[in-house]
Chain A
Amino acid sequence: RKEVEQDPGPFNVPEGATVAFNCTYSNSASQSFFWYRQDCRKEPKLLMSVYSSGNEDGRFTAQLNRASQYISLLIRDSKLSDSATYLCVVNLLNSNSGYALNFGKGTSLLVTP
């Protein structure tokens, strides 16, 4: 079982739509959670952290459900510029690396006019 799993998509939505992505993680001892954004042919960049109480940054809302071991990202009023791949990142202990940040494979979003 993969440690961090995401639906690869693509999610094709019209401008102005609301879209949500989920991500599940397998290790219940995971400590912290993040969403990264990666534009086509660009490097990943931190979009937002995910807090237990849920958090919002403009049109973006992130939520964590520890009991079910998933996190979500909600984008309201989608813009063309939101088109990108969204990577779910989980801080967990890795027996091989000992390092904690583990990336999902990403969910592709395409916002169309």
Chain B
Amino acid sequence: DVKVTQSSRYLVKRTGEKVFLECVQDMDHENMFWYRQDPGLGLRLIYFSYDVKMKEKGDIPEGYSVSREKKERFSLILESASTNQTSMYLCASSGLGTLNTGELFFGEGSRLTVL
């Protein structure tokens, strides 16, 4: 069974802290994504990666960075957390041919609260 695992389901951080959200997939997928989901705003793409060490900005990259040192792992970094980054963060992966199948496999999400 396919699996995307996010390291933390719930986190509480203080403003200004550095936050790491980790995501691991076991499907040997090339593509990995980070979204945030907020009420009334839906899913918004933060960053994505098509390959190891490769990253592309999504629609809302400001305040975030990412790292993909290994194919199976994609990390989202908040260098200095702010209260407006309180959100549900969802990691997803897909194999080649996503444009045709449209299938993204999501992790269970990490709910981050910044105080």
Contacts and interface: CB of A to CB of B under 8 A. Distances in A.
Interface in A20-47: 31-34, 42-46
Contacts, number: 57
A3 to B, nearest CB: 10
Interface size bracket, A side: 20 to 34
Contact of A97 (B43, B56, B102, B109): B56
A42 B102 CA distance: 19
A99 B31 CA distance: 11
A100 B56 CA distance: 13
**B-side interface mostly:** mixed
A46 B104 contact: yes
B108 A105 contact: no
Interface in B5-47: 33, 40-43, 45
Contact of B99 (A32, A42, A43, A94): A32
Interface of B: 33, 40-43, 45, 48, 56-59, 90, 98-104, 106-109
